[in-house]
Amino acid sequence: MKQRIAIGVAAVLAVAAIALSEYRGAEVPVSSAPVFHLIGDTEQELTRLPASFTRISDEEEIQIGDRLAKFYAGAWEDQIRHNLDYQDAQLYVEQVGARVAARARRKIPYRFHYIPEPGFVNAFALPGGHVFIGQGLMQLMDSEDELAAVLGHEVEHVDLRHCVERVQLEAKLRQLHLGELPALAAIPYAVFAAGYSKEQELAADKNGTELAVYAGYSPNGALRMFQTFEKFEPEYRKANSPGEELSGIAAESLQEYFRTHPRSIERIVQIQQLIAIQRWPPVAERDLRTGYIALTAKAKSALQRYDYAKAIALASRSLKLKSAQVTPLEVLYAASMYTGDFAAAGNAAQKLCQQDQESLAYARDLAEALAAQRLGAGAAARFQEVTRNAKRPPDSQLQYDVEVAGLTLMAGDESRMRDLGRRASSLSPKPAGEILERAGRWYYLAGKHEEALRQLTSAQELYPGHPEVTVALGWAALQNNRMQTAQSSFQTSSAPEALAGLAITEWRMEERDRAILIVSRLAGDSRWRSERWVSFTYGPTNYRSLAEIETERLRRMKAKR
């Protein structure tokens, strides 16, 4: 019955709102969105009326909030504890939040929490002063002033008692007693992240912006945050083409936010009017100190989308903000290799080796980047210099020696590699197979394909079923015109390296249709169109074969139109 009354009242108000807007003339774009917001607002206002008749003490409110915060924060504490970047972000949020909350009217212990989830594009507050903000939301910011505005907004939901009214209502609906603190854990945090009435949200916007300004921040932080939100709203996205920085996950995560919050244009207009009325002097915005976290995430995303130029640019920007990072260096290495900038890849790999002296993988990356630069005898010397202080177990010396031998082989001296083969013969099968796989890889890069095939065949016998050995064997077989061996090797894997090799194999076996079908699965992966990378990694003839297949694929597509 109550629900029908609420819906009926909402419908009447919706009609009245439309009529009134037609009479007055709308100041914001006209659409159906205000109707849905009005319905949501009306339901929220009708349901919160009973809570307004009572008021619990600050002490009780703090106890309730502490209990809820302990329950919610537990989901993310381990992630923060084991990640230095997340710890940095947590400390930063606490510092900015404390500065903003110092001007709040209610003198309660405000505390701030970072949620290390890229998909959490929101912020919320709990009774008693706990404020949470998601990594996803911070990734949309580029200034500390935007962060201050969002935290100020959430502080005001506490300051204006919106949060405690919400918990009173939820407790009543769920038949929970406020005095039974453990039972309150049944209230999910989504209840507090879902937004409040339009009146409450706009009040939090206004007061939160004032808190940020009083703390020394620019009001443009709030303005630009809402302008960013506007770009995600469904109506905006239909009429415009948002920039690439507006990720799909953010847009999807914000759909519920838009359903329960006022339209961004209304919030923008209110802040613009507030700035004009208050006549606040211009204040330069400050860079977001943890902006490197967002840049690194975007760099990884760009690499996964095969947008290597963007990945390099974002990773470089992230490293300028914080140089001692591993992930952007990994992105920089991979993207630079794929685009054929082997010198940049070598520099990134060298820094990775220096930051993690226990990583054999980074040492191998460095060796291949040096080989790609065709530095001759100087490559082995540089590799040894960089890895001299590597913290390696005693039994791993051969794994580093094979990289030195490979670089020496690339310079024309095979003696180290022959000696390495004799030393590997004394090892047990698995480590011997690993050494022979790397030796085969180096012989392949040096253009000695018969010896590469021999080494890799031996490696497969010692280390059967290993996917990297099998795919590498396929490439060596292809270079030696062992088509059946190459085909069977590549068919064991769906990795891009295997698909590319299989496409070339089918093409040379005159199975043109099958080759084109396989290459179409690699069409979005631009590294296979990088002549320098493919020629170095797999050989110039294989690059030309891939180019021929792609040309024929595009010709057929054009002919069908």
Cα 357-358-363 angle, rounded to 5 deg:
70
Domain identity same for 41 and 128: no
Q: Is 344 within a domain? A: no
Number of domains in the chain: 3
- Taking alpha carbons only, the member of 173, 163, 226, 168 closest to residue 195 is 163
The pTM (predicted TM-score) of the whole model is 0.75
Type of residue numbered 175 = Q
Q: Residue 127 in contact with residue 65, Cβ under 8 Å?
A: yes
Cβ neighbours of residue 379 under 8 Å, at least 6 residues apart? Answer: 367, 370, 371, 373, 407, 410, 411
Neighbours of 116 (CB within 10 A): 20
Q: Is 88 within a domain? A: yes
Last residue of a domain, one of 254, 278, 302: 278
For residue 4, pLDDT beyond 70: no
Domain identity same for 40 and 110: no
Q: Is 186 within a domain? A: yes
Domain identity same for 110 and 213: yes
- Taking alpha carbons only, the member of 155, 217, 169 closest to residue 43 is 169
Q: Is 17 within a domain? A: yes
Domain identity same for 154 and 224: yes
pLDDT at 48: 46
For residue 444, pLDDT beyond 60: yes
The full 3-state SS of 107-158, as one line of letters, equals CCCCEEEEECCCCCCCEEEECCCEEEEEHHHHCCCCEHHHHHHHHHHHHHHH
Domain identity same for 200 and 167: yes
CA distance readout (Å), 117 to 84, 124, 137: 15, 14, 9
User: For the CA atoms of the chain, what is the radius of gyration?
Assistant: 31
Domain identity same for 32 and 165: no
Query: In this predicted model, what pLDDT tens digit does every residue of 316-355 receive, in sequence order?
Result: 999 998 998 999 999 999 999 999 999 999 999 999 999 9
DSSP annotation of 287 = B
Q: Is 561 within a domain? A: no
366 vs 63: CA distance, rounded Å: 55
141 vs 139: CA distance, rounded Å: 5
Q: Residue 164 in contact with residue 309, Cβ under 8 Å?
A: no
Cα 118-144-73 angle, rounded to 5 deg:
45
Residue 143 forms beta bridges with which residues? 287
Task: Please state the rounded mean pLDDT for residues 387-415.
Answer: 89
Domain identity same for 17 and 67: no
Domain identity same for 273 and 295: no
Type of residue numbered 369 = A
For residue 223, pLDDT beyond 50: yes
Domain identity same for 95 and 155: yes
Query: In this predicted model, what pLDDT tens digit does every residue of 463-512 receive, in sequence order?
Result: 888 899 999 999 999 999 999 999 999 999 999 999 999 999 999 999 99
Domain extent for 324:
291-339
Q: Residue 195 in contact with residue 260, Cβ under 8 Å?
A: yes
Domain identity same for 70 and 109: yes
Domain identity same for 11 and 150: no
Domain identity same for 82 and 211: yes
Type of residue numbered 504 = I
pLDDT at 236: 54
Query: In this predicted model, what pLDDT tens digit does every residue of 65-101 receive, in sequence order?
Result: 998 998 888 889 889 999 888 999 999 999 999 999 9
Q: Is 144 within a domain? A: yes
Q: Is 423 within a domain? A: no
Q: Is 491 within a domain? A: no
